Structure 1
Amino acid sequence: MTARDIRVFGDPVLRSVSDPVTPGDPKAKALVDDLIDSVKLPGRAGVAACQIGVNLRAFSYNVDGEVGYILNPVIAELSGEPDLVDEGCLSVPGFYFPRRRYPYARVTGIDLNGNPIELGGSGLMAQALQHELDHLDGHLFIEGLEPEEKREAMRAIRQAPWY
């Protein structure tokens, strides 16, 4: 398979709620392979299927040397007091903004065979899980910024050469 190009802000697929993946679907295996290859590139903690142009509920992750994927994930637990963390996104390249995230997150989903998967963690893993689930629900991280920060972010994004 291959690392796929990342869709950027303005692409309609990033604003769409992703459809569930059917376990055993032969296309799902190819999607997972592409997600894994795409997340292995340097500087990537997670890649949602919509970011590579596929409107399905799947993402890959690459956190602390652990690489994997999950299909049809849902938030099972968020805990702790949300903190401001600098957050960026491959679909909004070159920008980082302070965004509130829970310090611990746990998601549940399935693998390609329909077996249950549970992922959880704090720090970067918690942030990645929340960020990727947002993608699958059609939301970019900038939507969760404080109002004044969001205005400044949008102003900066509109001036980006890729916009």
Structure 2
Amino acid sequence: MSRRAPRTPLPARPLPMETVGGTHRPITEIGTPVLHHHSADVTEFGTERLARLLADMFFTMHAANGVGLAANQIGLDLRLFVYDCPGDDGTRHIGHVLNPEVRLTGTEEITQPEGCLSVPGAVRHVTRAANATVRGQDWQGRPITVHGTGLFARCLQHETDHTNGTLYVDRLTPEDRAEALRQMDANRATVLAQRATRARLLARQAGADQ
């Protein structure tokens, strides 16, 4: 899930330790087959390969100014996502979930602007549950439960949707979906150029910090 376009090339929030050792990977875009089907469960845990993948996902998410990123958004058919998302109370939520299953709690819904790193440059209003709980596993295979409200709840729903092959534009009316694709066509080149610049600057910053 994306944030609004940054005013500066580098994010105001410091890079979390989860990005250490990570590198930038290209983000897949709407129309790529891996984004449009239910991803495969993660079955191998605690491996060096998985740890590197998570670091790459965190780094790529920050380079794209996102608050969440699923594995199929970098072309991998795996049910997992990472997040670095603010909560309603200002708390910064950072983590990952493998094999997520979402449960919506309560009846309250919120309609707010929403964007996606795989639909670059487009933002449309989407109605989602105000509260959400995701259950899954961490990278070592241990059970975890993550609860969110407001924007964080939206992020958890958006990213779990990705692992099920659903993009936020799939929840729009045909007219809104067409408008999102029009926005993407108009803004995509600018957004990708901004991401490339941020990726270079973040890589330089990460190298200086080591």
Relative to structure 2, which stretch is displaced further, 72-81 or 117-126? 72-81
Identity %: 38
User: After the TM superposition, which residues 61-80 of structure 1 pair with which residues of structure 2 at under 5 Å, given as runs?
Assistant: 61-64=83-86, 65-80=92-107
Q: Could you tell me which amino acid in structure 1 is paired with residue 59 of structure 2?
A: D
Offset, 1:147? 3.7
Equivalent position of 1:85 in the other structure:
112
Offset, 1:77? 3.0
Q: Say if 1:81 and 1:147 are closer, same or farther in 2 by CA, change over 3 A.
A: farther
Contact 2:45 2:140 in 1 (8 A): yes
Q: Report which of the two has the higher share of helix.
A: 2
Unpaired stretches in structure 2, ≥5 consecutive residues? 1-21, 87-91, 190-210
Which of 74, 86, 89 matches 1:52? 74
Deviations 1:70-89 (A, max 9, x none): 11110133433322111000
Equivalent position of 1:18 in the other structure:
39
Could you tell me how far apart the structure 1 residues matched to 2:94 and 2:62 are?
8
Equivalent position of 2:135 in the other structure:
108
Q: Say if 1:66 and 1:42 are closer, same or farther in 2 by CA, change over 3 A.
A: farther
Offset, 1:25? 5.8
Offset, 1:137? 0.7
Deviations 1:15-71 (A, max 9, x none): 121101114262322222212222233631100000011110000001123321111
Could you tell me how far apart the structure 1 residues matched to 2:171 and 2:106 are?
17
Could you tell me how far apart the structure 1 residues matched to 2:63 and 2:185 are?
26
Unpaired stretches in structure 1, ≥5 consecutive residues? none
Q: Could you tell me which amino acid in structure 1 is paired with residue 31 of structure 2?
A: G
Q: Across the two proteins, how many residue pairs are aligned to each other?
A: 162
Could you tell me how far apart the structure 2 residues matched to 1:116 and 1:137 are?
19
Relative to structure 2, which stretch is displaced further, 50-59 or 139-148? 139-148
Offset, 1:142? 0.5
Q: Could you tell me which amino acid in structure 2 is paired with residue 59 of structure 1?
A: F
Q: Report which of the two has the higher share of strand.
A: 1
Relative to structure 2, which stretch is displaced further, 140-149 or 103-112? 140-149
Structure with larger Rg: 2
Which of 130, 134, 144 matches 2:161? 134
Q: Say if 1:11 and 1:160 are closer, same or farther in 2 by CA, change over 3 A.
A: farther
Could you tell me how far apart the structure 2 residues matched to 1:155 and 1:90 are?
15
* Root mean square deviation, CA, Å: 2.0
Relative to structure 2, which stretch is displaced further, 77-86 or 114-123? 77-86
Offset, 1:156? 4.3
TM-score of the aligned structures, taking structure 2 as reference length: 0.70
Q: Could you tell me which amino acid in structure 2 is paired with residue 10 of structure 1?
A: G
Moved over 6 A (4+): none
Equivalent position SS for 1:71: strand
Contact 1:2 1:34 in 2 (8 A): yes
